Amino acid sequence: MFDIEAALERQILDRAHDRPTVVFTEALDPRVLDAAFHLSRYVRPVLLAPEKEIRYLAKTHLPHVDPGRVEFALAESVCLRVKDQVELIDAFARAAMEMGDPMVAGDDLDAARRRMAEPSCFGVMATRLGHADMVVGGATHEPKDFFRPALRLLANRDVVCEAGVFVLPDGAPESLFPHNIVVFGDVGVNATMTPTSLAEVAVGTCCVARDVIPDDVLPRIHGAIVSYSNRGSDDGPSPDLVRQAMALVPGILSERVARQPRYASIDITGEIKVSVALSSRSAAYYSNGDPNDPNDPASVIICPNLDMGNLMYHLHGVWYPDAKKFPVLFGVASRVVDLAMDTSGEDVRLAVKATTLRLHSAGWQRTPHDTFFPRHRVLAINPGSTSTKIAIYENDQEVFTRELQHQATDLAPFEGRPITAQFQFRKEAILAALAEHGLKPSDMAAVSARGGLMYPIPHGTYRIDPRMLDDLRSGVMGQHASNLGALIASELVAGTERPAFIVDPPTVDEVPERVRITGVKRIRRRVISHALNQIATAHRYAHDHETFYERINVIVAHMGGGISVGAHCRGRYVDVNDALDGEGPFSPQRSGSLPVGQLIALCFSGELTQAEIRKLNLGRGGLIDLLGTADLREVEARVAGGDAWAADVFEALCYQVAKAITAALPAFDGQPIDQVLLTGGMARSNALVARIRTLVAALGCGVTVYPGENEMIALVKGALRVLNGREAARDYARMHPHNAGAQ
């Protein structure tokens, strides 16, 4: 059986850059709520019911839904009692009065307010006025209360049709419909047809089929219009209606193809009998006009009126109770999902996903108004040794990113001085870059900076405070360009109410004592790592699987200039190698862990100075020392060219990363690992990823790849978790080791 849901999800994620806002008007119907709990990865749900009542319903009527999923979905949703939205109700009522439609507004403003206080009308008007992108209803509402007002306010064409999509189980005869997929139209709107409306319905239904069924499954969408009489007969009006409609189809279809080239794979034939459309012999009759071609049956059956459409839809529902089925409206700009009263939770889920896919396919960008989901503008700052990266995001959507390069001549005056001497110079560069885009710090909801070398602290988003700034200025844990981030962020928001944050600095340390102890009492293992990308990658995996960082066990391998392999156990970063000092696998520039005896011998051999040995450990070790390059792409090219030594080094790199991953297993104290996550620049190497995947297969969990360092979005998301109330900002001063209340 074709997995239509997986196909819809894959296509949405391939095309989506953001999630549309979707209003569920019947949030206290268990079927609708069940679906909403499974949709938050694809849409931003607005549930028109109080959260307390939703939680009670989930507990009493949906015991099969994992409580973790419920918590995640509610964290991604807005729950509201419509009657409490006094200002919106008044605005919607006044807008309805201006439209002058008595079905929506009633007789006067008070009547309009009463109408707008009903969840169905509230959701429809919220969508009409741009506060939401889509409204879902019909499972409990009569057509006059939801469907008809939705069409009156949201239709963007003179002709609207509703397609019923069926994916039949494997037991159905494949010869009847290609891949056992059939789309019926029209199943819910048009009681009667004119030639023009029938032609529009035929093309619209086929467009729905093309939008939701992948090209590789149905390369061609073949539609056929049902007639009541035999082909060529003049008995009754239906054959004539079909023939007149067919004369209009080419022109209407060509207009659609001009706007959406993917519709070029559609063709439509006319006049198949009802008895033929319902018969397994149908392929021999409606195969592109050639009764001798049994390999070209239609996948779209267009019905000449509502009764016929309902008959076809419900008959197949009875014949194939295990079929996957859902309705999709054409002619409403993908803004309405109309549910049948006998719908199931799965039907709701599929209908919303199919409509969301069509919305993205039409070029949807963003919800016009951020009424239900505030749009926070965040400035991210990431200082490096010779550049400063800045980025502006609105929520998690990038507005722009820029890397401000600092020339050697610009940095020369600061040579030999503490890194903080560059503070004013870099701040001015950031302000100038913002000004070029017509922006200033006060335009931001928050500023989020890369954390510097400060005292060890638990992971999280921290408000920048005076104690943190003092530690960064004095370099308590060392001098590094990242120390400038908090200093600049704090200065940019000075005198405003805007917060400034740092997120997961390199010194995040949550490891137990067993990780710190070594076999030499004077040496304790330090924890300095790529904490920002490590934790952001774990958060991303959790979000992609509709759960929380605190509920997963993952091993993250950050593979860049340095390599850190971290164990993340249900929201705590419980083990990681000290990547800064070269511990762990060797990397493009770092030696990794070395045999101690040989290292001691090398240190006292007199062959290298202390500075040269330090350089081998950090900066000139790893691939640079072994192969003379830090570019993994060059290494792979040499391997492909038959360089045996390069092949050995590449295999050793893969092996050491895999070994570090599997060595993290004890950190979970016997708990199962959910996933291994590969990230960093080297995760773009298909060969590296494939080899590591093979080497760690014995762990019994999958491997997911998130290539790149993703530091800017990680800074933004850390700030957003606080701005959206999903976690509280942490207090650095309270965690400080010199504070008696330190934890």
pLDDT of 192 strictly over 70: yes
Tokens read off for 527: 């924890």
Exposed (0-12), middle (13-18) or buried (19+): which is 73, by Cβ within 10 Å?
Answer: buried
pLDDT of 577 strictly over 90: yes
What local confidence, expressed as pLDDT, does residue 92 receive? 96
Q: Are 163 and 330 in contact (CB under 8 A)?
A: yes
What local confidence, expressed as pLDDT, does residue 360 receive? 96
Helix ranges (H only) for 340-449 are 345-361, 408-411, 423-436
What local confidence, expressed as pLDDT, does residue 296 receive? 60
What local confidence, expressed as pLDDT, does residue 351 receive? 98
Which residues on adjacent β-strands are paired with residue 183? 165, 300
Residue type for position 355: T
Cis-peptide, bond into residue 186, ω within 30° of zero:
yes
H helix or E strand, kind and range, residue 79: strand 78-79
What local confidence, expressed as pLDDT, does residue 232 receive? 44
Rounded distance between C-alpha atoms, residue 704 and residue 177, angstroms: 36
What local confidence, expressed as pLDDT, does residue 249 receive? 95
Which residues on adjacent β-strands are paired with residue 401? 391
Q: Are 448 and 378 in contact (CB under 8 A)?
A: yes
Compute the average pLDDT of residues 31-58.
Answer: 97
Tens of pLDDT, residues 125-161: 999 999 999 999 999 999 999 999 999 999 998 899 9
Domain boundaries, the chain: 4-153, 161-331, 374-526+729-743, 531-708
First-residue to last-residue Cα distance in the chain: 55
Tens of pLDDT, residues 652-694: 999 999 999 999 999 999 999 999 999 999 999 999 999 999 9
| Strand spans (E) along 570-724 | 572-576, 675-680, 702-707
Residue type for position 658: A
What local confidence, expressed as pLDDT, does residue 265 receive? 95
The residue with tokens 């198949």 is 272
Query: Domain 161-331, what fold?
Result: Rossmann fold (3.40.50)
pLDDT of 292 strictly over 60: no
Backbone φ and ψ for 518, nearest 5 degrees, come out as -120, 180
Residue type for position 742: A
Per-residue confidence at 373, pLDDT binned at 50, 70, 90?
very high
Per-residue confidence at 741, pLDDT binned at 50, 70, 90?
very low
What local confidence, expressed as pLDDT, does residue 743 receive? 44
Nearest in space to 478 (alpha carbons), one of 505, 503, 438: 505
CATH class of 531-708: alpha beta
Nearest in space to 332 (alpha carbons), one of 160, 503, 172: 160
pLDDT of 206 strictly over 90: yes
Residue-wise over 140-166: b if at least 16 C-beta within 10 A, else e? bbeeebbbebbbebbbeeebbbbbbbb
Exposed (0-12), middle (13-18) or buried (19+): which is 679, by Cβ within 10 Å?
Answer: buried
H helix or E strand, kind and range, residue 67: helix 67-75
Q: What angle do CA 335, 339, 342 make, to 5 degrees?
A: 175
Tens of pLDDT, residues 300-322: 988 887 887 888 888 888 888 89
Rg for the chain, CA atoms, rounded:
31
Rounded distance between C-alpha atoms, residue 203 and residue 185, angstroms: 10
pLDDT of 289 strictly over 50: no
Rounded distance between C-alpha atoms, residue 191 and residue 476, angstroms: 77
Count CB atoms within 10 A of the CB of residue 349: 22
Displacement of CA 208 from its chain's centroid (Å): 23
H helix or E strand, kind and range, residue 725: none
Least confident window among 98-107, 465-474, 589-598? 98-107
pLDDT of 637 strictly over 80: yes
Topology alike, domains 4-153 and 531-708:
no
Which residues on adjacent β-strands are paired with residue 400? 392
Enter the pTM of the model: 0.88
Instruction: Spell out the residues 6+ positions from residue 142 whose beta carbon is closer than 8 angstroms to its own.
Output: none
pLDDT of 287 strictly over 70: no
Comparing 554 with 291, which gets the higher pLDDT?
A: 554
Tens of pLDDT, residues 107-117: 789 999 999 99
What local confidence, expressed as pLDDT, does residue 273 receive? 60
Rounded distance between C-alpha atoms, residue 475 and residue 483, angstroms: 8
Which residues on adjacent β-strands are paired with residue 508? 457
pLDDT of 378 strictly over 60: yes
Comparing 366 with 284, which gets the higher pLDDT?
A: 366
Task: Give Cα separations from 343 to 117, 202, 290, 314, 338 (angstroms).
Answer: 25, 25, 38, 12, 10
Rounded distance between C-alpha atoms, residue 139 and residue 367, angstroms: 25
Rounded distance between C-alpha atoms, residue 129 and residue 736, angstroms: 50
Q: Are 337 and 352 in contact (CB under 8 A)?
A: yes
pLDDT of 201 strictly over 60: yes
| Summary mean pLDDT of the chain | 90
Backbone φ and ψ for 120, nearest 5 degrees, come out as -65, -50
Compute the average pLDDT of residues 173-201.
Answer: 85
CATH architecture of 374-526+729-743: 2-Layer Sandwich (3.30)
Rounded distance between C-alpha atoms, residue 269 and residue 222, angstroms: 8
CATH class of 4-153: alpha beta
What local confidence, expressed as pLDDT, does residue 275 receive? 53
Residue type for position 741: G
